[in-house]
């Protein structure tokens, strides 16, 4: 009897452990933890650019933690709002809400708690401006970008606004009084998101259309307008990345580095213009993933004291 009982207890412990792991995995999906890593990185870069040589570990930690919590809040509440359409797309139907592994009330409370902790934490540990920007990011993402996705292709530009705020939160948290870093950081993130998200929209155009999302311009069957827009924003992005050469005391490696990065991204966008295949769109997407951290690192590290 004791042997059977021990075996049964072991099975119960294993089942309980599996449920805990599953819950953690579902929470990471609900809060889009992978995307939050990008938010953390851009916020950290914004803080370092703003603080310069006066940055501190505690200041950096407070900025990225608060912004990551706010981003997790927006992601959770967004998935709650888009539950019905997430059930329709192959790449989203396995998420915890549409799959039925998590209740709506749980997702709602996760979103609210993370939002309060993120926005409130930034207010208490960094600055009121950083906190206000984090709150604005959540509002724009949930009440402008999310509903607009079902109505107009302009949603990409609106979504780019909320995505461009995190590095500015980092800048605000640093206490910097210089405005050029905020403007350049916002400009880089805003412009970068357009070719990045247009590549995604083209790769998954059929799924988005089937779910009722208007991510591409109506009538752009062959993708010419989409590819032209991606290339245009890539060129504009290149222009913004060179602004620090005139507004800040940068090492020459910055100009060389961003020049190389812009050639790669612009080249991928140009290839996509002449070849609107899924492969070309995927190449542009992956190039954008490499581009952003490279440029932000150069911006943060190649500035002379």
Q: Within 13 Å of residue 305, how many CA atoms lie on the same side as its CB?
A: 3
Q: How far is CA 106 from the centre of its chain?
A: 23
Question: How much is the pLDDT for 214?
Answer: 86
pLDDT computed for residue 264 by the predictor: 97
Q: Write down the pLDDT at residue 7.
A: 57
Given a contact cutoff of 8 angstroms between Cβ atoms, the answer to whether 96 and 58 are in contact is: no
Residues of the chain with pLDDT under 70: 1-21, 305
Model pLDDT, residue 14: 44
Burial of 298 per CB tally in 10 Å (0-12, 13-18, 19+): buried
Q: Which two tokens stand for residue 185?
A: 């950081």
Phi/psi region, residue 218 (left: phi>0; alpha: psi -120 to 50; beta: rest), is: beta
Q: Rounded to an integer, what distance in angstroms lies between the CA atom of residue 118 and that of residue 132?
A: 11
Residues 6+ apart with CB under 8 A from 44: 60, 63, 64, 170
Nearest to 189 by CA among 233, 153, 130, 155: 233
pLDDT at 186 (0 to 100): 97
> How many Cβ atoms from other residues are within 10 Å of residue 201's Cβ?
21
What was the pLDDT predicted at 1? 45
- Say what the pTM is: 0.87
pLDDT at position 288 is 96
Sequence-distant (6+) residues with CB within 8 A of 169 are: 43, 46, 63, 66, 67, 122, 130, 133, 134, 137
Q: What was the pLDDT predicted at 70?
A: 96
């Amino acid at each position: 009897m004791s042997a059977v009982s021990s075996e049964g207890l072991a099975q119960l412990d294993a089942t309980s452990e599996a449920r805990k792991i599953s819950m953690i995995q579902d929470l990471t999906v609900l809060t889009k933890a992978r995307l939050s890593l990008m938010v953390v990185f851009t916020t950290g870069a914004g803080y370092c650019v703003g603080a310069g040589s006066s940055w501190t570990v505690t200041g950096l930690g407070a900025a990225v933690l608060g912004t990551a919590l706010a981003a997790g809040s927006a992601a959770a509440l967004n998935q709650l709002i888009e539950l019905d359409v997430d059930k329709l797309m192959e790449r989203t139907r396995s998420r915890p809400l549409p799959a039925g592994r998590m209740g709506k009330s749980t997702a709602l409370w996760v979103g609210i708690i993370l939002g309060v902790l993120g926005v409130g934490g930034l207010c208490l540990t960094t600055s009121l401006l950083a906190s206000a920007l984090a709150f604005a990011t959540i509002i724009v993402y949930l009440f402008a970008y999310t509903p607009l996705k079902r109505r107009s292709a302009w949603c990409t530009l609106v979504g780019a606004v909320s995505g461009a705020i995190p590095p500015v939160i980092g800048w605000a948290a640093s206490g910097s009084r210089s405005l050029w870093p905020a403007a350049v950081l916002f400009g880089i993130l805003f412009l970068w998101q357009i070719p990045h998200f247009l590549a995604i929209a083209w790769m998954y155009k059929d799924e988005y259309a089937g779910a009722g999302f208007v991510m591409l311009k109506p009538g752009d069957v062959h993708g010419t307008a989409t590819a032209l827009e991606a290339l245009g924003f890539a060129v504009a992005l290149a222009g913004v990345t060179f602004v620090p050469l005139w507004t800040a005391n940068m090492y020459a490696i910055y100009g060389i580095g961003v020049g190389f990065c812009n050639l790669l991204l612009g080249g991928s966008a140009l290839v996509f213009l002449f070849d609107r295949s899924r492969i070309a769109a995927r190449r542009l997407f992956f190039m954008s993933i490499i581009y952003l951290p490279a440029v932000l690192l150069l911006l943060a590290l190649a500035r002379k004291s």
